[in-house]
Chain A
Amino acid sequence: MHALSKYIAKRLLWTLPTLLIVAAMVFFLVRMIPGDPAQLILGDSASPDELANLRANLGLDRPVPVQFLYWLGNVLRGDLGHSISNGAPVLPLMLDRFQVSATIVVVAVALATLIAVPAGLVAAWRQNEHVDIAIVAASTLLMSVPSFWLGLVLLLVFGLKLGWLPVVGYVPFTEKPWTAITYVILPVVTLMLIEVGVLTRMMRASAIEILRLEYVMHARAKGLSEAKVLLRHVLPNAFAPTWTMIGLVLGGLLGGIAVLETVFTLPGLGRLLVDAIFARDYPVVQGCLLFTALIYVIVNLIVDLCYPLFDPRVTAS
């Protein structure tokens, strides 16, 4: 247990400098846009008083590192400023939108994992046989289709041609749960199909390596049934790399979901960022970048912290 807590402490400590640099990058990104930061943040309609106020607030007369610390202090207190377009505070706005993106991404990746793990395991078990070739071909194909196009095609088929599902829009779960589900089925299925490809290939590759190891042969020699060998001896060990991949996929999706939210006109975090970029709503841009990077780092942290559960060797090294 001692090794485990040391591993956790080390991993947590490593996250801090990364987060600090991420914050600095987001801060300087917006500062690198030519123009007066106060004007950029308040927009063109700001009065001279407001501008002067904000300049003092941002410490624009101070050296840049001091300005950064000012900003960081505000961020740590949860104050990410206000949207230029509608004056709403950035943090609640983002959290609201994040719920939409997170629901879709988490459900899709969970479903994808449920399909990918058995599919990858079977493919590895029957390596180079017909089942395997079919599974590999299907997952390579799925991996090669862009999500926004697959979404568009599914929308065309199930929304427009067959008319089974609503085409555009979103209803919160809290209002009409059943209608809400019909709106998210297509985006969830699209994402799930895309991710099944990557995860199946990952699972297959690691299961193949495990199947070659001696203890599998030993387990077979003991007379265990194939099902027991696969479920008890191969699955737990082969799952660890797939688990890391799930983390990368989850985090990557939160950054890349803007295209899918555009296809299905969902009010998610990605769409908020893209709209903010178009509207030059810099506080929102800054907030979304910071928030998404933070989620990405946290997801990967959680994945790493869960890693010892699947692979006890991690803490030893």
Chain B
Amino acid sequence: MIRQPANLIIGSALLIFIGGMALLALFWTPYEPAAIKLIAKLKPPSAQFWLGTDEFGRDVVSRLMTGAVQSMTVAILTVAFAITVGTITGLIAGYTRGLVDRILMVFSDALLAFPGTLLALGLMVISGPNKYGIILALGIAYSPSVLRVVRASVLSAREREYVEASRVIGNSEFATMFRHVLPNCTAPIVVLATSMFGWVVLAESGLSFLGLGVPPPAPTWGNMLSAARTYIEKAPWLGLAPGICISMTLLGINLLGDALRDRFDPRMEQR
């Protein structure tokens, strides 16, 4: 919405920073993120600990970096899950139409009748708080939106001449669907996947904040914030840093999303 290059540049820069932080954490962190050192607890930011230490004397920078790995993993896997399930069901619904389509739509409507986070909360009841539970719960909650977008593009693409031509020259329905119909849905899927990445980061940090997400001692931005609540007056840096990381990620996604939306489809609205 701001000038196109500004969106693209600032958005990508923020995401590259967060992504780089996560990648770096796979190989190196300033300190061991889980190392407890009680003599160094609740230290304010200093040259030794750039963003201070938490109530167990663990280095905040190291934990933020490891937290970025957690958030990115959950977000990437959840988006991949929702896009895969949503695209396959959307293709089937849009391409076969008829009874199968009706059944899929009834289910997707019912899933969409729950606010996304609520559905995930409900599914967490079954899975219990763990990383894969979140991925599954959020993945299921977000796939109906993908189904709808894909189905709509398939419905408009399937009547085109080149799809007809593919059938006429004897390609199977399956090949036609994947080779000629699916590529037409890429633009809306990319736009949706980008926003969804943001929803997942937000939802995961919210669930972890509530204690229903990735359980400690594994650091996530959400559970770091949750732990920081107790020390908010004594050690405000504990609460500020994870929130700034979440906001930077979301801002990056929103700016990049705007840039993509302007590029692919100026009329597409966000959910």
Contacts and interface: CB of A to CB of B under 8 A. Distances in A.
A22 interface: yes
A145 B248 CA distance: 8
B198 to A, nearest CB: 8
Contacts, number: 140
B114 A146 contact: no
A201 B1 contact: yes
Majority secondary structure, A binding face:
helix
Contacts of A292: 114-115, 118
B91 to A, nearest CB: 23
Nearest to A23: B110
B66 interface: no
Interface stretch (B36-44, B74-82, B144-152, B209-217): B209-217
Interface residues of A, number: 55
Contact of A140 (B114, B210, B255): B255
Contacts of B177: none
Contacts of A133: 2
Contacts of B19: none
A133 B1 CA distance: 8
Contacts of B212: 274, 277
B114 to A, nearest CB: 5
B232 A156 contact: yes
Interface stretch (B22-30, B47-55, B119-127): B119-127
Contacts of B206: 146, 148, 256, 258-259
B171 to A, nearest CB: 36
A289 B271 CA distance: 22
Contacts of B240: 153
Given A33-B125, A136-B2, A144-B251, A289 B118 contact: yes
Contact of A152 (B2, B116, B232): B232
A215 interface: no
8 contacts: A18-B113, A128-B3, A146-B206, A153-B243, A252-B115, A259-B210, A292-B114, A296-B114
The 10 closest A-B pairs by CB, nearest first: A255-B115, A149-B243, A255-B118, A21-B110, A144-B251, A144-B250, A256-B117, A252-B115, A259-B206, A160-B233
